Amino acid sequence: MAARTLFRVVRRQIHHNMCYVMNGPSVERHVSVNKFERKMKWLSSEEHYRVRISRWLDNGVLGLVLDILEAVVSVVFAICYVVNSYSPGPGIPADVWTVELSCALFFLTDLMSRGILLAESFKSMLCWNTFINCLVILPVYPAAMFVPTQYVPRIPFIIFMTCRRDSSFWHGGGYLRLIYPIRFLKCSMEIRAVLHRGRSFMSPVMLFGLMAYFKFLSVIFVAAGVIQITETSFSADVTNDGDWTFFNSLFKSILTFVYVDYPPAENPVSKIIVGTLLVFLLIIIPYELSKLFDINSLYSSYEHDTYHPSHHSKHIVICGDLTPQRIEQCFWEVALLMDPFFAKRAVYIQGSVLDADAATRAACDTAAAIFVLTRKTGHEDVNVSDHRTIMRAIEVRQVSPAASIFVQIHLSTNRHLLEASGITNVLCISEVMHSLLAQNCFCPGFSTLMFNLTAALRSIDVKVDHTWESRFLHGASHELYSVTLPPSHVVSGLTFAEVAVMVHTQCQSAILIAIRVPVPEDDADDDSSSSVIILNPGNSYLCHGNETGYVIARDRTQADLVLGMAKDPNWGSSHSASTSTSNGANDPLVPKASLQQTAQLTPDKAVSSPTAAAIAKDKVKHLSNPTNIKRGLGARKKRTARTIMWAASKLQETSERHKSKKMDEFVVDDVPKLHFPLKPIVVVSLGSVFPENLEFFIAPLRAPTVKDHHPIVLMSSELPSEEVFAHIRPFSDVFLVKGEPTRLGSLKRAGIEIAFKVVLLCSEEDFGTASNQLLADATSIAVHKSITSLLGPRNAPMVVTKLVNRSNVNFISHNLKQSGWFDRGRPPSTTSDTIKFLCSPSFASGLTYSTELCDNLIINHFFNPMIKDIVRELVFSPLRESKLYPGKSKFSAFERNFATSGLQRSSLFTCELPLDFVGKSFAYCFEYLLLSDAILTLGVYRCLPPDLVPGVSPQSTAKARIERHETERAVPFGYVYLNPLASEIMTGDDLLYVLSHKQPCWA
């Protein structure tokens, strides 16, 4: 009541203001209202109610029911005409006549109510629908209402009492029967009205196509009736038999319109009418088709698709900034491209998760997982892209609170916005990409190795032969699996290194790389995990059985062999003696004395390292064929340490000297004039602005586990802002160069001619359309070509490139000018795109990485949840002592005080193969390094043989890489060979991928 009173007051005030404005000096204050205006006012009020009722019927459920009922009745009415055409006469069958009268009465009632009484205006009644209704209704009642009847119908309606069933236009001949085929137009009209009400449940193209289909179909049926009636205009009895039944006439009508042949009739009237209809179709069909194509160009079929989830299977939703190439790669990761029923299991829906209708059509509320992918579009700021992604993620959390949500963002500074909304599965692209590219500088092929470990490539079944592709794909087919170690009676008292040897020996060369260590109750926090993952703790951890470990294996079957391992009796007395002299051997958290420390403390007791001549031939044979004969027969013994202990430097993040320096002090004009003692690492940014989060690139290169800290030169067309530079300022030996990266002079000033490594960061701009997406790496490829041409083919592999589109990886391979090491021929046409990408020389060698590969990582996180923790340990292990380590705020007290626990953590490095390991099997190297220095070998980086390296003199090609001085070795260029066959013979050109607590340096 208060609201209504307020409305009246406002309305009166508005009326008063309007009167005040209109009643000026030249206008009369009182305007007289005549009777006509008062009558129009009353009519307007009545029309208002009629319009409301009419629109309620047009949009309400009752109107829909009436339209459906009218469509059904119109079809029945048309069937009555067809049945009547087959009746022998002279009258209409009683049942048919009753149905016709009922249908006509229904149409008449609807016409009087909705067509006349509820019409908005008189003009709205003069339309095509009213004309069709009159032609259908009036021939029934007027023709049968004024003749005395001798027939009493079964339905007791008074109006039927005055109707005769033989009073019809059909029987008796003549052209008045042409009114009856109009009933097919009535059917088409009503059916199209029902379809129009369902426009929200189908695409515009489908709606228009169905309406046009029924329109053409009604014309064909009308033509069939016209042919039948005109050919039997003076002999009505032949319509029920002979050549001019309705079915035969319909068949001839179809042939007429299909073949555009001579009309199948001799009657002149039939020819005129059929010819007119034929011309009408020849005109209307192209017109309707053009409208259909116009509608099809305006709408996408995916805008109206709907996914109906099944109760027997789960589904996932992938949304965000998607492109066709990105969708294809995502589906490869979820194993749908390998499914023969891929088309039945993938539904493409165009829309946004911010739209409630689109989210409902995608069944987001029942999804098992939702992936929100991000990507920068055009020249927009990465913060804008992150904010768009965060908005989608928050909406997804509200729509589907029970689903697992995985989100990608660009900058780590925006992570807290998602964590505040309860979303913890967040992947920061800049963190991962910059850390991978940084570790590629001192660990060749690191990014490719990580991709092979995390990507779903288990379907690749390759038999190792003489080709490098077979070895690379053999390693790529391995994945990470979580396993349970054997019970205590099998592994109790053994160190992690010794258990890793057992796993490799008894589990078909599977590699145990990490173990989950329980956190002591005193050090556990309420909001932290009760265990931590440690990569290769070596001899510092004693296993006690049933722990969770992580292995590299071909499939789950091979990984499950770990639990069924038997106790190895070949450890001998040396192991017993070492375990008996260890303090607290039963406590897994009490470290054992490392072999490196033992070798330094008791050098007189050290056993000399075996050489190739000292190993018996039969033992080498056993090591080369692990599947037939057990490896390592006899008592196990410890090996002499092979590494040199070097002092580790600390990460200089808190240097007050660097904090007080201004940005101008870091800017240099000519890097070669500085005469660095070590070759610099040059980072060339191709974007229009200085890239953010470069601290994740610098920190791994300044880690205390890295032996040599090379100077870092950052080149960009624009200097960083003070806010961005604040994260770079604490690091030592970092320099800025301002210049255009596409100009060779600027690149020379940045020091690429004296560089240790050159890293190209793509711009990630201008790929809004499909064509621009394929050309997004044009600048990166051009700059890469300029640098490799300047450096020459011998030093070309020192350039590491970050790409936007992984399909452009072949352009980088072309710039490398590979020789006989990599096949120049084109891959077979039957090879999948993923295999072509994997086997491209630039990716297999680790010289290229694409931002699209971060999609693989986040999607595999859903299928293999432990991937996140393992990848964080592998990728961010150099950042553990830094504030940049992801998730540091969630570490338990045990992890924050990890150094006091005595346990050792490892990081991934590459190192040269020791000279005396040349010619040995991989199994021998694997076991030897574990038992000597607790160094875990994951694979090899097989470099280009010296005789294939461009620019090497023929006199020096006889020497292998390991036999040369460090200054004479070529830039590493080869392929990643993960978990080689146990019988694989090591060469002097191999680099080892090892997990060690610091970068190995051989004695």
- Residue 917 scores a pLDDT above 50: yes
Q: Are 640 and 607 in contact (CB under 8 A)?
A: yes
The single residue listed with the structure tokens 């660095």 is: 676
- Residue 850 scores a pLDDT above 70: yes
The single residue listed with the structure tokens 């980086």 is: 941
DSSP string, 912-980: EPPGGGTTSBHHHHHHHHHHHH-PEEEEEEEEPPGGGSTT--GGGTTS-GGGS-GGGPPPP-EEEEES-
Structure tokens at 663: 């940005």
Q: Report the C-alpha gap between 457 and 477 in whole angstroms.
A: 5
760's enclosing H/E stretch is strand 757-761
| Structural Rg of the chain based on CA atoms | 42
Which domains are seen in the chain, by residue range?
55-291 (no CATH), 302-433 (3.40.50.720), 456-645+881-996 (no CATH), 647-863 (3.40.50.720)
- In DSSP terms, 484 is beta-bridged to 548
The single residue listed with the structure tokens 């294809």 is: 328
pLDDT the model gives residue 984 = 92
Check residues 568 and 261 and name the one with the higher pLDDT.
568
How confident is residue 524, by pLDDT bands cut at 50, 70 and 90? low
- Residue 288 scores a pLDDT above 80: no
- Residue 886 scores a pLDDT above 90: no
pLDDT the model gives residue 238 = 59
The single residue listed with the structure tokens 């070669």 is: 672
331's enclosing H/E stretch is helix 324-333
pLDDT the model gives residue 653 = 45
Per-residue pLDDT tens digits for 932-986: 888 999 999 998 876 666 655 555 556 777 778 777 788 888 899 999 999 999 9
Category of 351 on φ-ψ map: left (φ > 0), alpha (ψ -120 to 50) or beta: left
Per-residue pLDDT tens digits for 570-581: 664 334 334 433
Ramachandran angles phi, psi of 426, nearest 5°? -120, 130
- Residue 564 scores a pLDDT above 80: yes
Q: Please, what's the b/e burial string for 877-897 (b: 16 or more CB within 10 A of its CB; e: otherwise)?
A: bbbbbbebbbeeeebbebbee
Q: Are 127 and 115 in contact (CB under 8 A)?
A: no
How confident is residue 460, by pLDDT bands cut at 50, 70 and 90? low
pLDDT the model gives residue 667 = 92
Check residues 978 and 224 and name the one with the higher pLDDT.
978
Our CA dihedral for 449, 450, 451, 455, rounded to 10 degrees, sits at: 120
Mean pLDDT of the chain, nearest integer: 74
- In DSSP terms, 318 is beta-bridged to 371
Task: Specify the range with the lowest mean pLDDT, choosing from 360-364, 367-371, 575-579, 794-798.
Answer: 575-579
Q: Report the C-alpha gap between 768 and 772 in whole angstroms.
A: 6
Per-residue pLDDT tens digits for 679-713: 999 999 988 889 888 988 998 888 888 888 999 99
- Residue 594 scores a pLDDT above 80: no
Q: Report the C-alpha gap between 706 and 692 in whole angstroms.
A: 24
CB-count burial class (<10 Å; 0-12, 13-18, 19+) for 385: buried
Residues in the chain: 1003
- Residue 342 scores a pLDDT above 90: no
Parallel, antiparallel, or unpaired for β 369-373 and 404-409?
parallel
What pTM was estimated for this model as a whole?
0.69
Per-residue pLDDT tens digits for 802-827: 888 877 888 887 777 654 556 555 55
Helix (H, G, I), strand (E, B) or coil at 527: coil
Nearest Cα neighbor of 775 from 766, 784, 787, 762 is 766
Q: Report the C-alpha gap between 867 and 858 in whole angstroms.
A: 9
Instruction: Report DSSP state, residue 626.
Output: T
Task: Specify the range with the lowest mean pLDDT, choosing from 140-149, 484-493, 794-803.
Answer: 140-149
Q: Are 861 and 868 in contact (CB under 8 A)?
A: yes
Structure tokens at 652: 């200089």
3-state SS, one letter per residue, for 248-284: HHHHHHHHHHHHCCCCCCCCHHHHHHHHHHHHHHHHH
Ramachandran angles phi, psi of 716, nearest 5°? -155, 160
Q: Report the C-alpha gap between 351 and 943 in whole angstroms.
A: 48
Q: What distances in angstroms separate CA 77 from CA 80, 102, 151, 237, 716, one per listed residue? A: 5, 9, 21, 22, 79
Nearest Cα neighbor of 664 from 729, 613, 709 is 729
Cis peptide before 90 (omega within 30 of 0): yes
